[in-house]
Amino acid sequence: MKKILEQWDEAAQKYVLDQERSEYAKSNKLFVKKRFRDLTGKKVLDLGCGYGYYTNYFTSIGANVLGVDGSEKMIEIARGKYPHCIYALHDISEKLPFEEGTFDLVFCNQVLMDIENIEIVFSECKRILKENGIFYYSIVHPAFYDGQWLVDEKGFKYAKSIRTYLKPYSFENNFWGTTKHYHRSLSYYLNVASDHGFVLRHVDEPCSYSKETVNDDLPLFFFAEYQKI
């Protein structure tokens, strides 16, 4: 995990600039804001907080929030952008430094697909959540993310070609610098959550693409909400 965190330290600045102007990131933010409108008095862990956008948002709607990330550079940027928020540097693929039953909500946005061992993340989230607490995560949709767009004669992206899906594998993205990506099927994610005792409450595959240039019936993101019972 050390090498992966070093990659994110290198990519951090370009990543933040991209997220500030990306229409896909905007659609993700709007979807999260629609789901979470008021968290007054709730204790929230923004797990893999990156540059602190959601840490700041949850603070603005009344939550007591801690943003945690393993990238030192990301935490540095977060503290510069949202200095009124609280952050901690910690490798989230390791045991988390919190007591059992600490949080009402653990929020994990676009992080799990960048971690090799997600089993420990689910295990630790279950441990640190209060009874009836919520674990909410989003990932890029594994059924489509690594596919190649098929384009018609007018330049319209109408479908994606997928060569492999069921078997886990990894590769390197180069959007903001080199970062490692771990592909797993949806069944893998759903079963890991179930194996750790989470109860699935809701999933979403929202529309993210503009129908003018891309087939908007193909999802970019996958959102899942679980409860600790």
Q: Give residue 32's Cα distance to chain centre.
A: 11
Taking each helix axis as running N to C, give the angle between helix 72-81 and helix 2-21, from 0 to 180 degrees, rounded to the nearest 10. 30
Residues in the chain, pLDDT under 70: none
Q: How many CA atoms lie within 13 A of 101 on its CB side?
A: 4
pLDDT attached to residue 46: 98
pLDDT attached to residue 49: 98
All domains of the chain, ordered by start, with CATH? 2-228 (3.40.50.150)
Measured over the CA atoms of residue 54, residue 59, residue 63 and residue 66, the dihedral's sign is positive
**pTM, rounded to two decimals:** 0.95
Q: pLDDT, tens digit, for every residue of 104-125?
A: 999 999 999 999 999 999 999 9
Q: How many CA atoms lie within 13 A of 120 on its CB side?
A: 10
pLDDT attached to residue 3: 86
For the chain, how are helix, strand and coil distributed in percent, rounded to 5?
Answer: 35, 30, 40
Q: pLDDT, tens digit, for every residue of 168-201?
A: 999 999 999 999 999 999 999 999 999 999 999 9
Question: How many Å apart are CA 170 and CA 32, to the nearest integer?
Answer: 27
pLDDT attached to residue 2: 80
